[in-house]
Amino acid sequence: MRNKKSQNYIMLFLILAFGLPLICIILIRSFNVFKLGIFNFTLYGIEAATPSIAALLTIAILDNYIDLKLFLKKCYIHNIKFQYLLIAIIFPLTLITLTKITSLIFVKTSFITAVTSKKLIISLWSLISEEIGWRGFLQEKLSKNYSPLKTSIIVGIVWSLWHYHFFLLSTISAPIILFVIGCMTDSICYYWITVKSKNNIIPASIWHCIENLCFYLFTITPEYSKGNLEPYSIYIIYSIVMAIIINHKNLHETKLI
């Protein structure tokens, strides 16, 4: 990367984003009080929020309060476009509904399951827990030096690797290769909708939240489908198709600028 200052920002961000969950894992494995109940649930929430925490700490350390305030305004207040808020609901809902309909050919399960209050809280938490870090901070830094596709792929890979702590705690049980591909295809979609929203991350956050909620409601991922890989594999195939279409739009729109 050509910009030395950007390198420093990204390095500090990555150290914090990957290091903070490790502290949570150590606490969970070292102290019984963190293994169950409200303390475990709280640590889970902190783990999930470490990308956003890392981004805010990085800006606070390397910049100042005014820059932090401007960053949050850019992420949440400026350039709110309601058509993209709507797209952020329709696209993932359509994709996962289509996945479920297709998967019923191979796996005979109920079409939808009831959502618990715990799962609902976890899904809603994703509205603020990650995208400040991934789309608001890391994507914005990388896009100054890389193409839309390269930026999306890099963020997707980093994002997938960041989930290491959930794999270590057996919270996620999807095959790693499928999970990495899923994060990269999601990243392409999130990149497009964030750029269309002029770096407002609300649409990407809603898309992320809807996906997480629907994975549970429609029992798509292995941890929710009793270990069945078919629904998640089908989802990955459909998400690849969507990512190819959206990347084509990215290329076309970039050429027009």
Write the pLDDT tens digit of every residue in 217-234. Answer: 999 988 887 888 999 999
Buried b (16+ CB within 10 A) or exposed e, 45-67: eebbbbbbbbbbbbbeeeeeeee
| Structural domain for 190, as ranges | 4-256
Write the pLDDT tens digit of every residue in 171-189. Answer: 888 999 999 999 999 999 9
In this predicted structure, the answer to whether residue 3 has a pLDDT above a threshold of 80 is no
158 — pLDDT class (breaks 50, 70, 90): very high
Of the two residues 251 and 246, the one the predictor is more confident about is 246
How does the average pLDDT of the chain come out, rounded? 91
Q: What pLDDT is recorded for position 108? A: 79
Domain count, the chain: 1
In this predicted structure, the answer to whether residue 129 has a pLDDT above a threshold of 90 is yes
Question: What percent of the chain stands above pLDDT 70?
Answer: 96
255 — pLDDT class (breaks 50, 70, 90): low
| Least confident residue range of 49-58, 77-86, 244-253 | 244-253
Q: What pLDDT is recorded for position 204? A: 97
Of the two residues 131 and 110, the one the predictor is more confident about is 131
In this predicted structure, the answer to whether residue 257 has a pLDDT above a threshold of 50 is no
Predicted TM-score of the model (pTM) = 0.91
Average pLDDT over residues 207-212: 96
Average pLDDT over residues 128-154: 95
Write the pLDDT tens digit of every residue in 32-58. Answer: 999 889 999 999 999 999 999 999 999
Write the pLDDT tens digit of every residue in 94-115. Answer: 999 999 999 998 877 788 888 8
Q: What pLDDT is recorded for position 65? A: 82
Average pLDDT over residues 149-168: 96
Average pLDDT over residues 51-72: 93
Average pLDDT over residues 78-93: 94
Q: What pLDDT is recorded for position 227? A: 80
**Whether the Cβ atoms of residue 207 and residue 91 lie closer than 8 Å to each other:** yes
Q: What pLDDT is recorded for position 2? A: 54
